[in-house]
Structure 1
């Protein structure tokens, strides 16, 4: 749990709580006893008693703060809510009980009335305040978690929408459409069956993007079906200039990834590299270690590709971060560019 800044609470809360505690102790005691004690008070006795109440208030709050932060290091609210609350309450009450016992070892003037009745009152107040502070800390933790979750959800939606828009811009790009329509036109007379398949794949690409734009993650088998359609367009257009090898792993197809992750990486490889039939672009998609997919390509960068903005990679990393998953790892040298994508395993996987 992230440590909170309680500076303002310490500055203004301790004195206010001390005054409140002072009034409570006055109201708890019979008026006769209170006024008899006050008849013997000197000029500084009221100040001393108020300072003692403020000190006790500070002890109650500060021990609660420190105990809460200490327990959060190894016994978090997230995973132990039902046992953490009573445990923290008991520990806080025990600490206050021990401090009260130590306090009553000191000898105070008799007219202060620091007797067994006050001893019991302070213990009862300590237990009540322990209950309140533990409740506040639990509520604070879940309030911050709720706020953070809402913030992450909004950011995730923004980055997901950005990825969808980038993909749509790619598909609606005039050059992309012109190239695909030109390919279809050339295929209609020579290879009508291939032309039909080409149009079908192109339609499936649009259907996938529009149909999954509101999802944070998607099953890998759905993404792979989309990628096969997507690669069909490029392999038909470029022939042997682009060679893709995809390793089969049926056990991982129910894992999940953010939509369009593979598409962004493949598009990144095609966009930034020079390739030809003599020097093809090799794209390998395979699995490495538990729950990791690797997208790897040989590298021969275009001149403008050397200073790329890498917006696609940034988008993928941000979506993984907002999902609370391990971030993709990038390995790059003069010959290869490799991205290791963690696969998300859920109960539905």
Structure 2
């Protein structure tokens, strides 16, 4: 409806500018009010039909043939449909005028033909003006949406980078933790004295863990298969550090290994379990990593909380995992606590980010 007044004014303005000395304009001021009112109403209806037809065609083509796909074809198709619509509306208008005024159908005069052609040209100009306005509005709106998406994408990337940095800082904390390094090196020196082959394997696993932490902690996602390879070396170090005070049970379906999760997810969850629970050989801490479905991975540990510890104290490990899944538009992990177990259900992602 916004275009109707614009089209109405434009119709008379362009008609006058095309031929200001036409007989129609010379006699215009001499016509009675009711005659003018009838003409204005007819013209208003005509402009309404032309405007609505143009808007309807534009909206339909936006869905079936967007400007961004094939602009030249879109221009030709929209112009053609609008021309056909205008011709059909003019035809209906002529039929209506003939029926109302009961004019005879004798051969039209040259003046009538001239007026009809002028009418067609003016109508086409109005139609094309509306096309131009609609197209401009569509392109500006599309550009704004694109800019909004780019801005949201940049913001999301910044948030992901921040979360990734937090995970990296967490892993660096582990790397630079003198306690962890001292224990690992002490075990390594003992193993070298007792069993050189085992000592060599320990040093290899030790280097793999730190290489993984340095390289992959900066990524947004990695495959579960890569995470499990890292976890194998990490568990090897943990077992030789803690001994029989901890047991691991890894049972992951092969099809799940091709799915993705944020790096260090499993390491942080295992570290969290060790941090909050005692590791006694008489009552060892049991940690299970298994899949329930292809996209559902569960990290479960038995509960033997250290005195003065509670499950509300997660450090930065679990909250970091939660925020990274959220930022990656994945389903956030679920926590299930029973009197004897603590489970974290991780929903794996089927694409790399």
Q: Does 1:162 align with 2:166?
A: yes
Partner of 2:218: 214
Partner of 1:342: 347
Rounded Cα–Cα distance in structure 1 between residues aligned with 2:12 and 2:322: 57
Q: Is the 2:11–2:126 Cα contact (8 Å) retained in structure 1?
A: no
Partner of 2:177: 173
Partner of 2:264: 260
Q: Deviation string for 1:54-103 (max 9, x for gaps)?
A: xx9xx99xx89xx79xx99xx9x9xx9759x96xx97xx99xx89xx8xx
| Worse-superposed segment, 261-270 or 251-260 | 251-260
- Tell me the SS of whatever aligns to 1:304: coil
In the TM superposition, what are the counterparts of 1:182-197 in structure 2 within 5 Å?
A: 182-197=186-201
Q: Does 1:313 align with 2:311?
A: no
Distance 1:247 1:116, change over 3 A: same
Q: Which runs of 4+ in 1 moved over 6 A?
A: 21-25
| Worse-superposed segment, 227-236 or 314-323 | 314-323
Rounded Cα–Cα distance in structure 2 between residues aligned with 1:326 and 1:161: 21
What is the CA-CA distance between 1:285 and the residue it aligns to?
0.5
Q: Is the 2:168–2:218 Cα contact (8 Å) retained in structure 1?
A: no
5+ residue gaps in structure 2? 30-43, 94-118
Rounded Cα–Cα distance in structure 2 between residues aligned with 1:178 and 1:305: 27
Q: Deviation string for 1:237-271 (max 9, x for gaps)?
A: 11121110001433332222221111111111111
| Count of equivalent residues | 301
TM-score normalised to structure 2 length: 0.67
Q: Is the 1:235–1:242 Cα contact (8 Å) retained in structure 2?
A: yes
Q: Is the 1:208–1:226 Cα contact (8 Å) retained in structure 2?
A: yes
Partner of 1:304: 309
Q: Does 1:151 align with 2:162?
A: no
TM-score normalised to structure 1 length: 0.68
What is the CA-CA distance between 1:275 and the residue it aligns to?
2.8
What is the CA-CA distance between 1:309 and the residue it aligns to?
4.2
Q: Does 1:241 align with 2:255?
A: no
